[in-house]
Amino acid sequence: MSHDRRMLVLRAVVENYIHTQEPVGSSAVTKNFPLHVSSATIRNDMAALEEEGYLVQPHTSAGRVPTEKGYRFFVDRLVRIVPLSAAQQRGIETFFTHSVSLEDTLRRAARLLAQITGQVAIVASPSIVKSHLRRFEMVSLSMNTYLLVIISDSGRVEQRTIATSMPPKPDDVDRLIAVVNTQNEGQPISLLARKLKDIAQSDEFSAMRGFIEIVVKAVADMHDEERSDSMYMSGTALLARGNGAPIASIGPLLDALEEQVVIMRLMGSLSRSANSQGVGVAIGSETHTQGLLNASVVSSGYGQVSGMEKDAPPRTDDADDPDRSENTAPLAFVGSIGPTHMNYPTTIAAVKAVAEYLSAFINRQDS
């Protein structure tokens, strides 16, 4: 038996099942995928693929459907990634052209990806602590209250209100702002709290040491809150209407989407362990998430931090590790969640394209 032909039969079954969501028989393979062999040969190949765990026969008289192993082999070895059409690419460019802010762009990206794939789309906001400082500002709101504003090179803006019983002199605050920006512009925001501590210990700022310590705590809190990063989601209504997913799996899937920390961790891990196309795929049990056992997740990172080593190996450890280098991962991710019989070529191409456009948007913000 030809191994190459058997793999072509597997690809034919997967592609046919993705299209019809009906068990695939040898006649459908022969009709839609000319392999120039008899139906009997195709049946023998399909039986062999079933024995090897790539296909399963739901009913004795029915055709076969792909297993999780079959989908994995298809994604890793057989899938043919078709780039988005010129019209789709122009549509994406037009879609992003009207964005008015980073938040608006991310929201639009999630909506656009959901429209292209017909599945749930998720876009994470760039991590503030993996970004670099563009501007540090402090605005007086009242005698005892200041607004701390940190603007990253990705365009993300973080604000915190801080109160003090011993307000510093306005001139001292202006001097602090100037020193922080001079010393830290373009530097990792993850180091900002430590740099502020050093400034507080200097003789120049001894009179406002207590105030700077309050600022240090506010900056450190930003790092802690990254564990529940902003996440933009679109397309859940498509699941509620079925979209080809088994009815019994919709409820658990919707419940899983509510667990944002779990989804963030999963998609972040996939983005860092992506394949040569820059896309990671988890199928069914590979997600290690109960509600996603009948779903697949496709994810890609975007917004590579400046100075990233192009050939550095991907990290697959915890995304929330505060000691991990900002040079080992993209700023954030974009992904799609759908049934295991999703259209993998289209989903992978769409996720990859949207990630590339988001990276370009971030780079423009940094220029």
- Same domain as 358, residue 239: yes
- Same domain as 346, residue 237: yes
**Whose CA is closest to 267, among 189, 355, 360, 349?**
355
- Same domain as 348, residue 299: yes
Q: Which residues make Cβ contacts (< 8 Å) with residue 250, sequence separation at least 6?
A: 239, 240, 242
Residue after which a domain boundary falls, among 192, 226, 260 = 226
Asked if 340 and 347 touch (Cβ cutoff 8 Å), the reply is no
CATH of the domain at 267: 3.30.450.40
Single pTM value for the model: 0.79
- Same domain as 345, residue 243: yes
- Same domain as 202, residue 96: no
Conformation bin of residue 334: beta by default, left when phi > 0, alpha when psi is -120 to 50: beta
Per cent of the chain over pLDDT 70 is: 86
- Same domain as 165, residue 210: yes
* 14 vs 46: CA distance, rounded Å: 12
Lowest-pLDDT choice from 2-11, 284-293, 331-340? 2-11
CATH of the domain at 19: 1.10.10.10
- Same domain as 306, residue 286: yes
- Same domain as 246, residue 341: yes
- Same domain as 241, residue 115: yes
**Helix extents (H) in 131-259:** 170-184, 192-201, 209-225, 236-240, 247-258
Q: Identify the pLDDT of residue 244.
A: 54
- Same domain as 358, residue 287: yes
Q: Which residues make Cβ contacts (< 8 Å) with residue 360, sequence separation at least 6?
A: none
Q: Identify the pLDDT of residue 320.
A: 39
Q: Identify the pLDDT of residue 176.
A: 96
Q: Identify the pLDDT of residue 325.
A: 39
- Same domain as 267, residue 335: yes
| Higher pLDDT, residue 160 or 92 | 160
- Alpha carbon separation from 27 to 62, 166, 216 (Å, rounded): 12, 82, 69
Q: Identify the pLDDT of residue 225.
A: 67
Dihedrals phi, psi of 169, to nearest 5 degrees: -70, 145
Other CB atoms within a 10 A radius of the CB of residue 33 amount to: 15
Query: Which helix (H) or strand (E) element contains residue 97?
Result: helix 86-97
Q: Is 347 helix (H, G, I), strand (E, B) or coil?
A: helix
The structural domain count of the chain equals: 3
Residue after which a domain boundary falls, among 194, 226, 258 = 226
Q: What is the pLDDT of residues 98-107, one digit of tens each?
A: 777 888 899 9
pLDDT confidence bin for 218, thresholds 50/70/90? very high
pLDDT confidence bin for 314, thresholds 50/70/90? very low
Q: Identify the pLDDT of residue 310.
A: 34
Radius of gyration of the chain (CA): 25
Structural domain boundaries, residue 27: 3-78
Q: Identify the pLDDT of residue 79.
A: 82
- Same domain as 353, residue 235: yes
**What's the average model confidence in pLDDT over 329-358?**
91
Residue after which a domain boundary falls, among 205, 226, 247 = 226
Whether residue 241 is predicted with pLDDT greater than 70 in this model: the reply is: no
Lowest-pLDDT choice from 163-167, 183-187, 245-249? 245-249
| Higher pLDDT, residue 307 or 64 | 64
Q: What is the pLDDT of residues 36-88, one digit of tens each?
A: 888 899 999 999 999 999 999 988 777 899 999 999 999 998 887 777 888 87
Q: Identify the pLDDT of residue 306.
A: 44
Lowest-pLDDT choice from 31-35, 42-46, 217-221? 31-35
pLDDT confidence bin for 285, thresholds 50/70/90? very high
CATH of the domain at 142: 3.30.390.60
Beta bridge partners of 24: 64
Q: Identify the pLDDT of residue 11.
A: 93
Conformation bin of residue 155: beta by default, left when phi > 0, alpha when psi is -120 to 50: left
Q: Identify the pLDDT of residue 229.
A: 56
Q: Tokens representing 105?
A: 């762009």
Whether residue 328 is predicted with pLDDT greater than 60 in this model: the reply is: no
**Mean pLDDT score across all residues of the chain:** 84
**Whose CA is closest to 5, among 48, 68, 55?**
48
